[in-house]
Structure 1
Amino acid sequence: MNNTTPSCATPAPAHVLIVEDEHDIASVLSDYLRHAGYSTEHVADGASALARIQAAPPDLTLLDIMLPQMDGLAVLREARLHTRKPILMLTARIEEVDRLLGLDLGADDYICKPFSPREVVARVRAVLRRSQGGADAQAGASALQLDETRWQATLRGTGLALTRREFRLLQVLARAPGRIFSRAQLLDMAYEDTLDVTERAVDSHVKNLRRKLAAVDPAHEWIRSVYGVGFSFEEAPAG
């Protein structure tokens, strides 16, 4: 008689490929990610990164835009022909076209340099959770619906009467749940013309958004304030 009790195998940690030509930055990111429970691998140029992704896609790729041999956007474009695994862009460029192009090519999120390694770990965790969350992630995403063609938002099936600036601000926040945006980042990303808009106006619009969201669902804090930093959008289940 076999008295051996079967044991559940421990799942392997998610594997993160770091594509960064600045070795000091890559080393710090690797240390933080390993401490958070992930396995990591580092390559320093775009051609090597694409070959690695094509051979065996990692669970998530942290992909710098400015790379030798092949830039990050070209790597992203080619990688999306082989995998839908999450790719998170790292960029020192602040031009809107680079960010939008990266997202249109299939990036799951992006982080602007300089950044906190803790923020990178938090964003990696959030992106992996969304990509691996199955039905729970889909339910959380469906609680808020944004119709970009009509500039209309609904929360749990109830329409939200938003101004265009409020809609755009909510859109930017909701695209990256859990990510902390500074007021300066929100000004840059959510307002087409910032000449007549100040960071104080961002606070005012966030206050209005919170009030309108709370009128439909007062039990959940949809937009969280991070003291001295900025704001983040917090997902909640649809039910």
Structure 2
Amino acid sequence: MLKKRIIPCLDIKDGQTVKGVNFVDIRNAGDPIELAKRYVKEGADELVFLDITATVDGRKTFAALVEQIAHEINIPFTVGGGISSIEDVNILLNAGADKVSINSAAVRTPSLVKEIADEFGSQFVVVAIDAGLVDNEWKVFIKGGREATELDVFEWAKKVEELGAGEILLTSMQNDGTKAGFAIDLTNKLSADLRIPVIASGGAGSSEHFKEVFEQTEATGALAASVFHFGEIPIPKLKAFLSNQNIDIRL
């Protein structure tokens, strides 16, 4: 049984950490290097870095910033944004990333998932799925949540698992930034369907929400941003609370 993971997310725009609601209304949340150092001290299990406008701007992830952050931390580090080739993955690996997260590029070129898995190993490939409701059905969105596709979230997740993805980062766009709780039904169905780990993302607003997602779904990780960045939920207190609720967590 995998221990449950608490994962802060650094959404990066123009070199700064930002946070929005439902993928819009973006505001500044601080210096990414200082935040990363703080999360290591607080006992975060992993860190995710997403360059949220790289794909839309048609550029690559800021490898120099990735390198600076990697230099300061000693926990698993996942990097995403603007990755579209094995060469991009190589650059980020050399900069200090432990895993890469791909979303739009995986939708455009599904074979890229297999290429990365074959070259580096499945454990290196995280497929991020931004899920949004279209006519009451969960569809995959790309380009930072700006563009809907015809892909069914559950079918797509099964496909990328077969292609070699080692993990899914599942974000509910409906819940993102609302602090109203994770998308339990969506996360439960997806995590029960797959053999690979699923990280739940979008909607964390209280310690109780983390308890719910771990108790009511098979997600092995829960990701959040603003509640950690602004000190609303200190990670040590969250972990102590979860441990007291008999949830298997690293203390």
TM-score (norm 2): 0.34
The structure having more radius of gyration, on CA atoms, is 1
Q: Which has the higher strand share?
A: 2
Quick one: higher RCO (CA 8 Å, sep 6+), 1 or 2? Answer: 2
TM-score (norm 1): 0.35
